[in-house]
Amino acid sequence: MVSIDIGLSTLAVFVPASIALILAPGPDSLYVLTRSIGGGQRNGLASALGTSTGILVHTTAAVLGLSAILRTSALAYTVVKYAGALYLLYLGVQTIRHKEDFDLQVDDADTDAEADSGGGVGGEISTDVDTVESYRRGVVINVLNPKVAVFFLAFLPQFVTPGAGAWLDMSLLGVTFTVLTMCYLGTLALVSSRVKAVLTNRPRVTDAIRWAAGSVIIGFGIELAIDERVSG
């Protein structure tokens, strides 16, 4: 019978290491931040959930051995890398061009609802970007980053004892990493969504944030595109 072979001593090392990695700035956290400020709390949480879903996809791929293809095949890695880079470039340009995604006007109906409820995190603010789209983009940004796939393939096995139950241990660690990621990105979404209410009717500031966010996302895309690795 296959059993879980992960003790508290393993988690005591895995959890802090994971938190340190999760807190490192990257395209995922920047996208959540951007959607929280530009689209409000719901869009921020949706993008955070999308990123977390992407991590589960990478975990599954690592457990099934699919991520090994990206580590050993230069062609597969390059194809996914450029697909991810192009998508980041696309999102960066869209962020800069689509000013409506940063429409920080508060609807009268939402303002009344906020007053009736005694307030909320950033209020219930209108957004032109559907939460489903924010979720989908969060998934795609994470899944189309081959560096994440290779990272999971190298990171998770370090905390797993080889054997019949290794896949179960890797799955548990992957889920743990996902939960930690969602906690961080969810908190980031809730906190940064407050900025939207503060910046309402301040177009110059919001334009600056929009350009800065779009430019950084483009920068992440360029960084991914020029990433060099040695296939093993």
Q: What is the pLDDT of residues 166-218, one digit of tens each?
A: 778 888 999 999 999 999 999 999 998 887 666 666 667 777 877 887 888 89
* Res 113 pLDDT > 80: no
**Tokens at 47, concatenated:** 């993008």
Percent of the residues in the chain that have a pLDDT greater than 70, as a whole number: 75
Q: List C-alpha distances in Å: 61 to 58, 64, 174.
A: 5, 5, 11
Residue 124: pLDDT band (50, 70, 90) is: very low
Which pLDDT tens digit goes with each residue over 68-109? 776 677 887 788 888 888 988 988 888 788 766 555 544 433
Q: Does the structure show a pLDDT above 50 at 154?
A: yes
Task: Sort residue 71 into left (φ over 0), alpha (ψ -120 to 50) or beta.
Answer: alpha
Residue 223 confidence class, pLDDT cut points 50, 70, 90: confident
Q: At CA 96, angle to CA 94 and CA 99, rounded to 5?
A: 90
Q: Residue 101: its pLDDT value, please?
A: 56
Q: Which residues contact 216 (CB under 8 A, 6 or more apart)?
A: 30, 92
Please tell me which of 15-24, 150-159, 214-223 the model is most confident about, judged by mean pLDDT.
15-24
Q: Which of 28, 29, 7, 2 is nearest to 173 (CA)?
A: 7
pLDDT given at position 32: 93
Higher pLDDT: 218 or 119? It is 218
Given a cut of 60, is residue 126 above it in pLDDT? no
- Tell me, yes or no, if the pTM score tops 0.75: no
- Segment 10-15 shows an average pLDDT of 90
